Structure 1
């Protein structure tokens, strides 16, 4: 797939270039209103392009109507036909492509078997669990043998326990998909687990793309940093010192020059109520607590002051420090726990 999607709608402009090879799963990530769903609808032909191009397997699809595109879509709410059984929902696509009723049903039965849903072939959508409905929707999309599979927040409608199970199943099915898959999600875990490559969209433009490991290691915007759980700053490096655009200097282990980003995880931050006596820490800032929240089995503290940041600490440590909103603290980060890279 080779595409540049340009969609202008009122004051909003989407301009996103995407490339993907057969067998590759690409995740579109971004905050609400970034343009992810608009991009997905443009790929499906549901939103017309105002510019750019869409080529799939070397064929230009810019003006091809949705029903004639070799595209399968799994919508967020699945949109299964409520009056049809699971079998006939899956058979619908092959029937539209000209298959006889018997052949379409045979193909559908095969897909339901792959999804582990043979026992539910005669069930209508209202009798299916969320996870089962998601798998029927995926089978329906795959039954047409699409060259492009679009998944719009495919796990969003599931509860946390079901989501864990279905995510693993979806990864298995996508691993065996021979064409291109594009996943739209706001959940970083879904993207990291399911996708080979991430494309981050903000304000209608691509701000960063790469493998999940590359994105997690080197975020380039505040949104991406929050997504992967890192404190992120931009500044100018002079050797091992980075002078931030807004804030103090940070000492790093990398020896760099010029514009850089500096990142470190909240777990790298150590908090003290008093300035640590005899501390040799080069990265030490006076801050105040603006908020506390549970984060997994830890407490995440939001801090403002010399350097706005977040810090993770155990519940016991938070209690011993008597942390509360407005509490004055000192925050320290070892240079070895920072990571600087060119901006």
Structure 2
């Protein structure tokens, strides 16, 4: 039977050469926190500090009332550094790290036996967990006879079977192919929520936050830049960095009659008024951003629009698919010139990253991205659909 869920709290500082991680995060009992950000933002370092694999320069880690790490606190009690194997914390990473000489059943049973369970009951429980993760009938196979996705399922079963007080997931889907990743992601979500396990999942993919987590924390260069409920942060990011991370364009601006003055010029707004921002409880007059679908059901179009008076400071959001790119200046409103920084994959097409402060994103069909004029460093013209421009008062 799963033990009652326990919360985790960490306030740590890690100094490594020119990089410093300085983060304070907590997760309530039974909830899942996603920590997202680009490579080298400190995500895995934070997880390894909680797991006891990295010793912080200063800070504390607690699970419930139990202090697992205490370092460098002047005038406080003596330092504490509980060994990883004594923390009651499970860690699941990209690599399943299965014992090659043991069967799938024995791999899952290993953690249970290490916790003191006798061999027979441990194997019985291991078989139950293999069934839960969809591997009924393969318990006698060794890892070499299993596919990569099956090995990862064994690792998930092993991690959850041990019933850790806290489960840490470090990019657990990064090594999987496009077919296996969605299955494993959904499996993790079902098992973590079904057992009420307190968990922290580290990822560079915001989809992991959408599917797995209750709350999301965004790291950049070792610093926490945003934290909140997934629906709030992903549908209405407060910083340009987070907006780019979740695939939404964000600009600062001032309302100017029927439009808004921004760094790229005056952008017209459909209908001559501010479209309702998803975080403001209303519905935009145009098609909503993809991330807005995470929010609560919207009010009828045009109602509940935030009050952004003429001259008032605001933030402007529009989806990348609302940006068209041209080799020459197009007709119509909301056109501006920009420089191509690079092209990258996007769901169903190609994403063009436009240089600037902040960067802007445009999503194109593959056939639209083949022109020589779209090379990195090239100058292009962009146009934003006025119906897709959503405003909200500046914080």
Asked if these proteins are the same fold (TM beyond 0.5), I'd say yes
Given candidates 224, 231, 236, the residue that maps to 1:206 is 224
Please, what is the CA RMSD of the aligned residues? 3.0
Given candidates 1, 8, 12, the residue that maps to 2:15 is 8
Given candidates 28, 45, 63, the residue that maps to 1:38 is 45
Q: Structure 1 residues 64, 328: closer, same or farther in 2, change over 3 A? A: closer
Given candidates 18, 27, 47, the residue that maps to 2:25 is 18
Given candidates 47, 55, 62, the residue that maps to 2:54 is 47
* Equivalent runs, 1:133-212 vs 2, <5 Å: 133-212=151-230
Aligned to 2:362: 311
Three-state SS of the structure 2 residue aligned to 1:60 is strand
Q: Please give the per-residue CA displacement for 1:132-191, whole angstroms capped at 9, x wherever unaligned.
A: 111111111122211100111111111111112222222211221323111111112122
CA distance in 1, matches of 2:49, 2:221: 16
Q: Does 1:80 align with 2:87?
A: no
CA distance in 1, matches of 2:356, 2:33: 39
CA distance in 2, matches of 1:190, 1:102: 36
Q: Please give the per-residue CA displacement for 1:255-288, whole angstroms capped at 9, x wherever unaligned.
A: 1676643221122234564442xx4x3x332446
CA contact (8 A) 2:169 2:202 kept: yes
CA distance in 1, matches of 2:122, 2:212: 29
**Runs of at least 5 residues in structure 1 that lack an aligned partner in the other structure:** none
Three-state SS of the structure 1 residue aligned to 2:245 is helix
CA distance in 2, matches of 1:145, 1:297: 39
Q: Please give the per-residue CA displacement for 1:94-139, whole angstroms capped at 9, x wherever unaligned.
A: 2112222222222222222222223111111111111211111111
Three-state SS of the structure 2 residue aligned to 1:119 is coil
TM-score relative to the length of structure 1: 0.86
* Equivalent runs, 1:1-343 vs 2, <5 Å: 1-62=8-69, 63-235=81-253, 242-244=260-262, 246-251=263-268, 253=274, 255=308, 260-270=314-324, 273-276=328-331, 279=332, 281=333, 283-287=334-338, 295-303=346-354, 309-314=360-365, 324-325=374-375, 326=378, 328-329=380-381, 331-334=383-386, 337-343=389-395
Three-state SS of the structure 2 residue aligned to 1:160 is coil
**Runs of at least 5 residues in structure 2 that lack an aligned partner in the other structure:** 1-7, 70-80, 275-305
TM-score relative to the length of structure 2: 0.75
Three-state SS of the structure 2 residue aligned to 1:340 is strand
CA distance in 2, matches of 1:304, 1:33: 21
Three-state SS of the structure 1 residue aligned to 2:102 is coil
Q: Which shifted more, 332-341 or 196-205?
A: 332-341
CA distance in 1, matches of 2:359, 2:173: 33
Three-state SS of the structure 2 residue aligned to 1:118 is coil
CA distance in 2, matches of 1:110, 1:248: 61
CA contact (8 A) 1:26 1:181 kept: yes
CA distance in 1, matches of 2:354, 2:158: 48
Q: Structure 1 residues 88, 219: closer, same or farther in 2, change over 3 A? A: same
Q: Please give the per-residue CA displacement for 1:181-202, whole angstroms capped at 9, x wherever unaligned.
A: 1111111212221111111111
CA contact (8 A) 2:247 2:361 kept: no
How far does residue 296 in structure 1 lie from its aligned partner after superposition? 3.6
Aligned to 2:4: none
Q: Which shifted more, 288-297 or 123-132?
A: 288-297
Q: Which shifted more, 141-150 or 331-340?
A: 331-340
Q: Please give the per-residue CA displacement for 1:213-260, whole angstroms capped at 9, x wherever unaligned.
A: 21222223444222221222234567876544x543445515167664
Aligned residues: 337
Q: Please give the per-residue CA displacement for 1:276-318, whole angstroms capped at 9, x wherever unaligned.
A: 2xx4x3x332446666666444454455699963333456777
Three-state SS of the structure 2 residue aligned to 1:120 is coil
